[in-house]
Chains A and B, each alone.
Chain A
Amino acid sequence: MLSSPRLLRHHLPPLQCCFTTAPTQPPSSQILTIKKALLSGETTSVDLTSAFLRRLRRTEPHLKSFLYTPSDQTILQQAQELDNRIQNNEPLGPLAGVVVAVKDNICTCDMPSTAGSRLLENYRPPFDATAVRKLKEKGAIIVGKTNMDEFGMGSTTEGSAFQVTANPWDLSRVPGGSSGGSAAAVSARQCVVSLGSDTGGSVRQPASFCGVVGLKPTYGRVSRYGLVAYASSLDVIGCFGSSVADTGILFHAISGHDKFDATSSKRDVPDPTSQFIANDYLVSKPLKGLRVGVIRETLQDGVDPAVVSSVNSATSHLEDLGCVISEVSLPSFALGLPAYYILASSESSSNLSRYDGVRYGKQLFADELNSLYRNFRANGFGSEVKRRILMGTYALSAGYYDAYYKRAQQVRTIVQKSFRDALDRNDILISPAAPSVAYEIGEKKDDPLAMYAGDIMTVNVNLAGLPALVLPCGFANGGSSGLPVGCQMIGGAFDEEKLLKIGHIFEQTLEGYNFVPPLVADEVGC
C-alpha cells in the first residue's frame, strides 16, 4: 500500500567535506562539557546538580514548570552516588550527571505521573516508561516532572488541572503546550535537557515559544511504552535542549527498538555525537548543495509578520551556508488540521476510556457502576478533555465513521504522499513552528478553534510520522527583550541524523542572537 520511505543519502554530498582538520575543541554541548568536567575532576556532580537546583528553586515560584520535584536531598544523593562511581573509575553513561526533567505524562515509578490531570493526581505507576528507564541507565539525574496540558490536549499548558506555567521570556505569557513545563524548564536552565511528547506539535511549538531546541523524532523511533496515550497513531516522545547537540544526544539515548511497543522501529539509531563539531572546523559553505524547500503555505496570510520575517532570515542563513533554497507547495496543507483533530479526538476518546475509577485514581463511592464511571470521569477530566472525548465519540459513532474518521485517514494518506514527494526533491523542508509568538496567558482559553488554528504548522508532520527539529532563529517584539521565534526543519522518515547535522551547523554559525531569557541571563551568560 504505502511504500517505505526512501533514504535520501545518495542525493546529499558527503558531509566530510565540511571539515578542514580533525576537531580538537569541544563542541557546543553542555552534556559533553559536563562529562568532560566530571571526568577531569573540574567539578562534581553534587556541585553541578546543586547549582541547577538553586536556580530551579529560585525560578520555580515564577515559572511553575514542575508539578513534582523530589527533595533536594533525594536528588543530591543520586549526584553523590555518581561522584562515588567517578571516584572508583567506573564507566559513565552518555548522560552521566545530566540534570533532566520529564513531562508528567511519561511514567516514572518513583514519582507521581499525572498527565496534568486531576484524575491521576498522586498516581504512582508501577513501572518506568522505557525512555525513563534508558535515562536512568545512562546516568541522568531526573530532577522532576513537568507541567502540561491535561492528557496532552492543548497548546498553552493552561489546560493543566494544577497550575499555569509561565514563559521564561515573559511571565505574562504562556510557554506553549502541551509540553510547556518541559520547554520552560530548559529555557530557564532549571535543567539541561528535558523530555516532552509531541502529538500535533506539543514539543515543537513550545520550543519555538520558549526559544529552545525541540526535536520530534520519527514515529516509532522512541518507544511509547509508558507514555500516557493521547492519540496512539500520532504520539511520540520528544526532546528539548538548549542546543541541537544536547537535544541530539538525549534523542540518541532514549531511542531504539523496544519489545514493549509493537509500533517501535527496529532500525539502528546512529550516534550523532561525532557530528557535533565546533564551527571553527567548518568549511565556508558547509551545507553546500543541500536542497531546502520552504513550504509556501506556511508563510502566507494568517502568520505573524515577525514570524515570517524570522523564518525568512533563517532561510537566508541556510543559503549563506550553501543551501539551495526553493519553494515547495503542499496543497493539502490546510486539510491536515481538521484531519488531525478528527483523528486525535477519536483516538483519545478511546484511549481515555480506561479512566473509569476501577483500577486506579481517587476512590469514589457510588451505589451503581455507571454512576461510578460517570462521576469519576466528570470529576477527574477538565473541560477541554471532556469536549474532545465527546467529539471523538461522535466521530467514531456508527454512521459517522466514514464521514469523519475514515476521511481523516484518507487525508493522512494524501499528506504522507505530498511530504514524500516534496522530500524526494529536497533534503529538508522549512516552515515556522507556530504562526505566532507566545500568547498571553488567558488569551486562547475560551475559543477552541482559535487554539487549534495555532497547530497548523505542526500537525501535518505528525500525520506523516516524520521527524522535525525546531530551533530558535529570531525574535519578535514583546516581553522585556523580545519573544523568540523558532524555525521548523522537517526531514525524511528516520533521518534525524541529517536534521541534527544541519541544525547544529545552523545554530553554531548563527550570529547576533542570545537565546537565554533575561530571567536567568545573568547567571548563565551568553
Chain B
Amino acid sequence: MALTFFRGVQTRPLLSYPSIYFALRKHNVSYCNMQNTQLETTERQEGQLKGSTREIHSKPHDKLLKDFEAVIGIETHVQLSTQTKAFCSCPYNYGAAPNTSICPVCMGLPGALPVLNSKVIEAAVKVGLALNCSLSLDSKFDRKQYFYPDLPKGYQISQFDVPIASSGSLDVDLPVEYGGGHRRFGITRVHMEEDAGKLLHTGSGNYSQVDLNRAGVPLLEIVSEPDMRTGIEAAEYAAEIQRLVRYLDVSNGNMQEGSLRCDVNISVRPTGQQEFGTKVEIKNLNSFSSVSRAIDYEISRQVDLHTQGLADQIVQETRLWEEGSQKTITMRKKEGLADYRYFPEPDLPGVTLSEEYINSIGSSLPELPETKRRRYENMGLSMQDVLFLANDITVAKFFDATIAGGADVKLAANWIMGDIAAYMKNAKVSISDIKLSSEELCELIASIKGGTISGKMGKEILFELMAKGGTVKGLIKDKDLVQIVDPVEIEKIVDKVLADNPKQLEQYRGGKTKLQGFFAGQVMKESKGKANPKLLNQILLQKLNATS
C-alpha cells in the first residue's frame, strides 16, 4: 500500500495551526498531504514516505497478506475547545508558558473540588448524536487511579461503566485513489474525561519536568469497534473523526498539537478464523499517514511472524511508532491488565440528560459530513469533488452559499477547488479570511456564463476579489472589463491590427497559419483583453483568409 492522500483545503492560517493540508489540482488529480510543523519538512517527508513504502512491499509479500485478516480498532482522544478546563475555570491556551494556567483544583491541592463545565456535556452529546449513539440519560463519573507526575490527584476523573454515549456508528468514504467505497464503522462508546498535564523528559535524563497547564482540560474518548481492516480504513476513520469534531466545532482536532490523539489496537488472524489474534497497541501516531503506515508495518510484522511459525512472539503489548525508522518498537510489555481501581466519583453528581436538552442539541447540529457528501453526490458532482468540498465545513458552507445564489454547481466546485484553493495555499489563509464572498463568486460565475466577461478576465478579477474584496459588478465597471461581443467592434479592431501588421499578414497569407495566434494576441491586447475570444477568432480567421 502506498501513500495515503487526503483532500481538503487549508482551514486556518499557518501561524496558529501548524498542521495544514492543502489541495493542488494537477492534471485532474487532486491530492494533498498532511504536514508536520514546517512547510520545509514536507518534501523530506514525502520523499521518506515514497521510499519506505517501496521497501516494505513486494509481490510475494502481498500474496501472504491476502491469507490474513487484520482486525483494527482505534481509541481517539479529542481535546475539547472549551474556554475553560473540565472541572475548574482555568482557561486553556495551547502554547502558553508552563504552569501559568493553574489553580487549586487542577493542581490537586488539598481541599480542592471539581465542578463540571456545562460545555463538556454539550460537546459529548453533540458527538454522541453525530455518531448515531444511544445516549445514557443518567451517567456518572468515576475515578481512574494511578500514580504519575502529570496526574496531580493521583487519579483521573473519567467515565468507566456508564459512558455518556455508546453503540453508534461512523460512515466513511474511502479516498478515490484507493478505490473509493463506503464503509460504516461501529462506535463502542464515547465518554468524558480530563486530560493530564505534560511530562517532559530532559536530555540528561536525571530529572523530568512537569507542566500542568493541560491538566484538567476536557477530553472525549471515542472508542471504535474493531471494524477496520486496513491502514487506509483506519486513517480515513481518524480523518472522519477529525472532520466531524471540526464540523461540530467542539475541537480543532489537530493531531500535531495533540488535540486529536489516536491509539490503534491491531491483531491479525488467518482469513476465516473466528478467534481474534493477540492484540497489540500502537501509540505515538502524529498524523493520519502515520496511522496508515504504522498499521501497514504492524500487519506485515505480525503476518511475517505467523508465516515463520513464530506467532507466539506476538504478545499483548504497547508499541511505539517511530517516525524516523518507520517501524513499531516495543515500549513496554503488558504484565497483565493495569488495575485502575475504578470507583464512582463522589465529588461529582451524576450527569442527567433530559429529552428536551438532547432534542435541542440535536436540532442545533449542522449538516454532518456524511449527509453532505450524499447530497453533493446527488447533485452530480464527482466523488473527488464531493470529498474535497465536504472535507472542511467552512468550505462546504461557502460552496453551499454560492450555489444557493443560483451558481452552476460544477462551475462553483471548479472555482473553489482550483483558483480559490491555490490562492489560499499561497497566501496561507483560510476560506473565512479571503475577501471574496460567496455572493460575489456567484456573481462572477454568472457574469462569465452570461458572457459579460471572459473566463480569463474572470480569473483576474477573482484574484483581486479574494485579496482586496469589492464586487464583481464594481470591478467590471472600474476596470472596464465588459467583454466586447459586438462583431462590428471586433471587426474594427481586427482591421486595425491587420493594418498595423502588414508583414505578418503577408506571411500568414503566404502560408504561416500559425501566425493566427500572434494576431489573436494583438487583437486581444488592442481590445484590452475584452474581446470575446470565440468571436475574435471567428472574425479574425474570416479576415485573415480573405484575399483582400
Touch A–B, Cβ below 8 Å: yes
Interfacial residues, chain A to chain B (CB-CB below 8 A): 106-107, 113, 115, 120, 123, 125-127, 129, 224-229, 231-233, 259-263, 346-347, 350, 353-356, 358-360, 367, 369-370, 373, 393, 396-398, 401, 405
Q: Decide if the interface of chain A is mainly helix, strand, loop or mixed.
A: loop
Q: Decide if the interface of chain B is mainly helix, strand, loop or mixed.
A: loop
Q: Which 10 A-B pairs have the closest CB atoms?
A: A353-B154, A233-B346, A232-B346, A396-B341, A226-B111, A228-B110, A354-B108, A398-B339, A107-B111, A262-B115
Q: How far is A360 from B107 in the complex, measured between Cα atoms in Å? A: 10
- A262 B149 Cβ-Cβ under 8 A: no
Q: Is B109 an interface residue (CB 8 A)?
A: yes
Residue ID in chain A nearest B87 by CB atoms: A262
14 pairs across A/B with beta carbons < 8 Å?
A: A120-B110, A225-B113, A228-B110, A233-B346, A262-B113, A263-B349, A353-B153, A354-B109, A356-B147, A358-B152, A359-B152, A360-B109, A367-B206, A369-B149
Q: How far is A401 from B115 in the complex, measured between Cα atoms in Å? A: 26
Q: How far is A125 from B108 in the complex, measured between Cα atoms in Å? A: 12
Interfacial residues, chain B to chain A (CB-CB below 8 A): 104, 107-116, 143, 145, 147, 149, 152-155, 206, 208, 210, 337, 339, 341-343, 346-349
- B348 A353 Cβ-Cβ under 8 A: no
Pick from B114, B154, B342: contact of A262, CB under 8 Å: B114
Note all chain A residues with C-beta closer than 8 A to B342. 396, 401
Note all chain B residues with C-beta closer than 8 A to A356. 147, 149, 154
Note all chain B residues with C-beta closer than 8 A to A227. 111
A/B pair count, beta carbons within 8 Å: 103
Residue ID in chain A nearest B112 by CB atoms: A225
A353-B145, A396-B341 known; A123 vs B108 contact (CB < 8 Å): no
Q: How far is A367 from B339 in the complex, measured between Cα atoms in Å? A: 26
Known: A358-B149, A396-B342. 20 other contacts (CB 8 A): A125-B111, A126-B109, A127-B109, A127-B111, A129-B111, A228-B111, A262-B113, A262-B347, A263-B349, A347-B343, A350-B343, A353-B153, A354-B109, A354-B153, A358-B210, A359-B108, A360-B109, A360-B110, A370-B147, A373-B147
- Min Cβ gap A197→B in Å is 11
Note all chain A residues with C-beta closer than 8 A to B152. 354, 358-359
- Min Cβ gap B227→A in Å is 28
- Min Cβ gap B270→A in Å is 33
Note all chain A residues with C-beta closer than 8 A to B107. 359
Q: How far is A347 from B104 in the complex, measured between Cα atoms in Å? A: 20
A347-B346, A393-B341 known; A353 vs B147 contact (CB < 8 Å): yes
Q: How far is A348 from B116 in the complex, measured between Cα atoms in Å? A: 22
Q: How far is A127 from B113 in the complex, measured between Cα atoms in Å? A: 13
Q: How far is A356 from B115 in the complex, measured between Cα atoms in Å? A: 23
Note all chain A residues with C-beta closer than 8 A to B112. 225
Q: How far is A285 from B116 in the complex, measured between Cα atoms in Å? A: 49
Pick from B111, B154, B208, B339: contact of A350, CB under 8 Å: B154
Pick from A261, A262, A360: contact of B116, CB under 8 Å: A262
Residue ID in chain A nearest B149 by CB atoms: A358
- A354 B343 Cβ-Cβ under 8 A: no
Note all chain B residues with C-beta closer than 8 A to A401. 341-343
- A262 B111 Cβ-Cβ under 8 A: no
- A261 B113 Cβ-Cβ under 8 A: yes
Note all chain A residues with C-beta closer than 8 A to B206. 367
Residue ID in chain B nearest A400 by CB atoms: B341
- A125 B109 Cβ-Cβ under 8 A: yes
- A224 B147 Cβ-Cβ under 8 A: no
Q: How far is A107 from B105 in the complex, measured between Cα atoms in Å? A: 14
- Min Cβ gap B152→A in Å is 6
Note all chain B residues with C-beta closer than 8 A to A106. 111
- B145 A350 Cβ-Cβ under 8 A: yes
Note all chain A residues with C-beta closer than 8 A to B110. 107, 113, 115, 120, 123, 125, 228-229, 354-355, 360
- A354 B154 Cβ-Cβ under 8 A: yes
Q: How far is A113 from B110 in the complex, measured between Cα atoms in Å? A: 9
- B109 A260 Cβ-Cβ under 8 A: no
Note all chain B residues with C-beta closer than 8 A to A350. 143, 145, 154-155, 341, 343
Note all chain A residues with C-beta closer than 8 A to B109. 125-127, 354, 359-360
- A261 B343 Cβ-Cβ under 8 A: no
Q: How far is A354 from B343 in the complex, measured between Cα atoms in Å? A: 16
- B346 A225 Cβ-Cβ under 8 A: no
- A259 B115 Cβ-Cβ under 8 A: yes
Note all chain B residues with C-beta closer than 8 A to A107. 110-111
Residue ID in chain B nearest A225 by CB atoms: B113
- Min Cβ gap A77→B in Å is 27
- A232 B115 Cβ-Cβ under 8 A: no
A261-B115, A359-B109 known; A346 vs B154 contact (CB < 8 Å): no
Q: How far is A370 from B153 in the complex, measured between Cα atoms in Å? A: 16
Residue ID in chain A nearest B153 by CB atoms: A354
Note all chain A residues with C-beta closer than 8 A to B339. 397-398
Q: How far is A427 from B342 in the complex, measured between Cα atoms in Å? A: 39
Q: How far is A225 from B155 in the complex, measured between Cα atoms in Å? A: 18
Q: How far is A174 from B174 in the complex, measured between Cα atoms in Å? A: 74
Q: How far is A398 from B155 in the complex, measured between Cα atoms in Å? A: 16
Residue ID in chain A nearest B107 by CB atoms: A359
Note all chain B residues with C-beta closer than 8 A to A229. 110-111, 347
- B343 A346 Cβ-Cβ under 8 A: yes
